[in-house]
Amino acid sequence: MSPAPALQKVAIVGAGGRVGGEFAKALLKTGNHTVTAITRAGSKSSLPDGIQTIEVNYDDEESIVAACKGQQFLAITLGVTAPPDLHGKIVKAAVSAGVKYIMPNVYGYDPENINLTSGNSYSAMSAGRLKEVTSAGGTYIALTCGFWYEWSLGLGMYGIDIANKTVVLMDDGKTKICTSTFPQCGRAFAALLSLPESGASPCLADWKNKPVYMNSFLVSQRDMLDSVNRANGTKDEDWTITHEGSEQRHKDAMEKMKTGDRRAFATAMYSRMFFQNGDGDYTSRGLANEVLGLPKENLDEATKVVVKMVDKGYSLATVGMGS
């Protein structure tokens, strides 16, 4: 059987956001795809040059179906404030429209790690989103990239508050996890969609209803703090450093979530990744970095980008996550 060519028509929900924007820019750069942004009617989001746009009413399934007609691949990138039922609506409409592959809004945890999917609200939600695709009769390809490095370090989610020079090291601070930069995610997405759909490996069909595991770095909090020190010209003595057990921090955050504490969800989500059992390191699953031709990135260069973001005021308030 001759190989099927690479998919040509790709749609992205959330192309005006950080990761969706990286997806769009990287794919457009190949020059081999028609890339369409599916956006809410009246949205003022800035979109990459060269992308097509279709406005939809997300409360009207037929509107979403119409936007997805003719698309071969749909990537869903939703913000944290998106309505909880929106993902399922988009999936159902995409399957009805005949979209062959859906990349669900599942980019952080390893969706095949039962330790995670059975015991945490975020990972359970991620597993549920995969099931939304298969239950609707669709096919998913998940991009498992760990948490985004710039977002997580810049907003203090990794326990390092650059602006206030405070650090909470979980356990001994040496548990390594996978994390990825926004550009690396974009490169992975474009490389994946540039593969033949089927035929000899590597091809897109290799990852039918599977995760594509990739990363930028396998690092610990200690590694990240050392990198920030190099970028800032600081030393440990310049920081207020405390320690917490990752499991206790997770337990406490889960309790706080019951009171409606918005920040507690993020604390629980991130502290769970740093459990010392290694759940945050999925490299043993087999990374696709080499297959996709992804470059080896420099940690300090990525950290310098984050430090500049923080210097310019990047914070929970500026990304709409303030209390």
- Looking at the fold, whether 243 and 123 belong to one and the same domain comes out as no
Same domain, 231 and 125: no
Residue 320 lies in a domain: no
Residues 83 and 159 in one domain: no
In a domain, 208, yes or no: yes
Shared-domain flag, residues 247 and 121: no
Same-domain status, 20 and 58 = yes
CB hemisphere CA count around 197 (13 angstroms): 13
* Residue 4, C-beta contacts closer than 8 angstroms, at least 6 positions apart: 196, 197, 198, 199, 203
In a domain, 321, yes or no: no
Residue identified by tokens 């997580």 is 152
Number of domains in the chain: 2
Residue 167: phi and psi, rounded to 5, are -135, 135
pLDDT digits (tens, 9 = 90+) for 164-214: 999 999 999 999 999 999 999 999 999 999 999 999 999 999 999 999 999
Same domain (yes/no): 112, 175: no
Contact assessment for residue 231 and residue 300, using Cβ atoms and an 8 Å cutoff? yes
Residue 107, pLDDT score:
92
From 121, 110, 153, 106, select the one nearest 253 (Cα to Cα).
121
Secondary structure of the chain in HEC code, one letter for each residue: CCCCCCCCEEEEECCCCHHHHHHHHHHHHHCCCEEEEEEECCCCCCCCCCCEEEEECCCCHHHHHHHHCCCCEEEECCCCCCCCCHHHHHHHHHHHHCCCEEECCCCCCCCCCHHHHCCCHHHHHHHHHHHHHHHCCCCEEEEECCEEHHHHHHCCCCCEECCCCEEEEECCCCCCEEEECHHHHHHHHHHHHCCCCCCCCCCHHHHCCEEEECCCEEECHHHHHHHHHHHHCCCHHHCEEEEECHHHHHHHHHHHHCCCCHHHHHHHHHHHHCCCCCCCCCHHHCCCCCCCCCCCCCHHHHHHHHHHHHHCCCCCCCCCCCC
CATH number at residue 237: 3.90.25
Radius of gyration of the chain (CA): 20
Per-residue pLDDT tens listing for the chain (323 residues): 567 899 999 999 999 999 999 999 999 999 999 999 999 998 888 999 999 999 999 999 999 999 999 999 999 999 878 898 999 999 999 999 999 999 999 998 898 898 887 765 666 777 889 999 999 999 999 999 999 999 999 999 999 999 999 999 999 999 999 999 999 999 999 999 999 999 999 999 999 999 999 999 999 999 999 999 999 999 999 999 999 999 999 999 999 988 888 788 889 999 999 999 999 999 999 999 999 999 999 999 999 999 999 999 887 655 644 44
Q: What are 112's two structure tokens?
A: 């095949």
For residue 127, the domain's CATH number is 3.40.50.720
CA 25 vs. chain centroid, Å, equals 16
Say whether both 92 and 157 belong to one domain. no
Judgement on whether residues 16 and 56 belong to the same structural domain of the protein: yes
* 286 found inside a domain: no
Domain range for 35? 9-146+182-213
> Is residue 104 located within the same domain as residue 169?
no
What is the phi/psi pair of residue 252, to 5°? -65, -40
- Domain boundary (213, 230, 262) is at 213
Q: Is the pTM of this model over 0.75?
A: yes
**Are both 123 and 174 inside the same structural domain?**
no
